[in-house]
Structure formats: structure tokens, C-alpha cells
Amino acid sequence: MSERRKVLLRTVPFLVIGISFFVLYLVFFVDIPKMIEIIQHANMIFYSLAAVALLLETFLFSLTWQYLLLPLSVKVPLKKTFAYVWIGAFADLLVPAESVSGEVAKAYLMSKEPNVNPGKVVASLVSQRMLGTITTTATLFIGFFALATLNYSIPNLMLQILLSVTIVSALAFLFILVLCVKEKWTERLISAVMRFVERLSRGRI
């Protein structure tokens, strides 16, 4: 119970701050009556299908993580993996940091399970991230090829955004790949991050 209280004391303030900022954003930057009017005229069939698709996507994402954990002898029930993925998604919404906050939350929760090696959990998350980045980058390249083949004209701004996302995804994959190959570089990076966290927490972490 004391551990749960500590977790609540650490997370609840961030949750309150995040919700407060969201409410302030709605009040000052969103036309709430117009938003309610749009919601009233929305087609609930399409939104229901979107909700089902989201649940299915989250389940399949949890299933892939579970599959990557099995060769590492990390035996955790699928329902817990599914729950941790949802918590990671919530952490990403609460602390937007390019899904890093979600990955950290999932790694922390999974490593708290009995007889689970934290290093293996991180390895499975990095592997999943690499597979996801490969899929995303390949899909973007295929999309560009399809657009070029069909001679479909798109605005220059949209083209620049798509190209930027593709390049950033490819660079992210290369960065992770280099860290997987160059062990010493990875150790230096981790040491630098840990020194920064230690200074920020004044030695408590």
C-alpha cells in the first residue's frame, strides 16, 4: 500500500496539471458551443467503427510486444501487457514526448513484475520500436511512389510535410540501429542521461 501511495503522490499532481492545461485550452482557444454542435451532427457509426479500430490496434500492438517478450523468457499474462500498453498511451497524452514517456512507463511497470529483467523489457521495446519505424518508413516510401506513379498532384506544403516525416522516421531508425550496433556509444549515451537525471533529482535517482 505504501508503494501505491508513493506512485499516486507522484502521478496525481502531473495528472491534475495536465487536465488543468487541457481545460484552459478548451476555454480560451476552442469554440465550445460550435464543438458541441459539430458533435451533435456527427455520424456515430463512423466514430463507433473508429473506437473498435482503436481497440483492435491496441490489442494487436500488445500482442506483438508479448511475442517479442517470449524469446527473452519474460512471461507476463497478455491482459497485463494490454493494460500496460494503455497506460503507456495515457502517459504519452499526459507528457507528450514523441512516445518516449509511454515507453518509459511501460518499461517501468513491466520491470516491476516478479522475475522480470528490466534490460530484457527495454530490449523488447526497442525491437518493437525498430519494427514500427521500418513499417512506417516503408509505407511512406510506398505512398510517395504511388503518388508519383498516379501523377496525383498535392499541395507543396503537404508534400514538404510528408517528406519531412519520412526523413525523420528514416533518421530515427538509423539512430536506433547505430545504438544497437555500437555498444560503447550506447553506454556513453545512457551514462550521460543518468548523470543528467541524477543532477535533476539531486541524487535521489
pLDDT for 67 beyond 90:
yes
- CA–CA distance, 54 with 76 (Å, rounded to integer): 23
- pLDDT of 18-29, one tens digit each? 788 878 888 888
- pLDDT of 110-158, one tens digit each? 888 888 888 899 889 988 888 888 888 888 888 877 777 777 777 778 7
- CA–CA distance, 63 with 71 (Å, rounded to integer): 14
pLDDT for 172 beyond 60:
yes
pLDDT for 1 beyond 60:
no
Which cell numbers hold the place of 77? 499474462
Residue 36 pLDDT level (bands cut at 50, 70, 90): confident
Residue 166 phi, psi (nearest 5): -65, -45
Over residues 176-183, the mean pLDDT reads: 83
- pLDDT of 73-103, one tens digit each? 888 889 989 999 998 888 887 776 667 788 8
Query: What pLDDT score was predicted for residue 85?
Result: 92
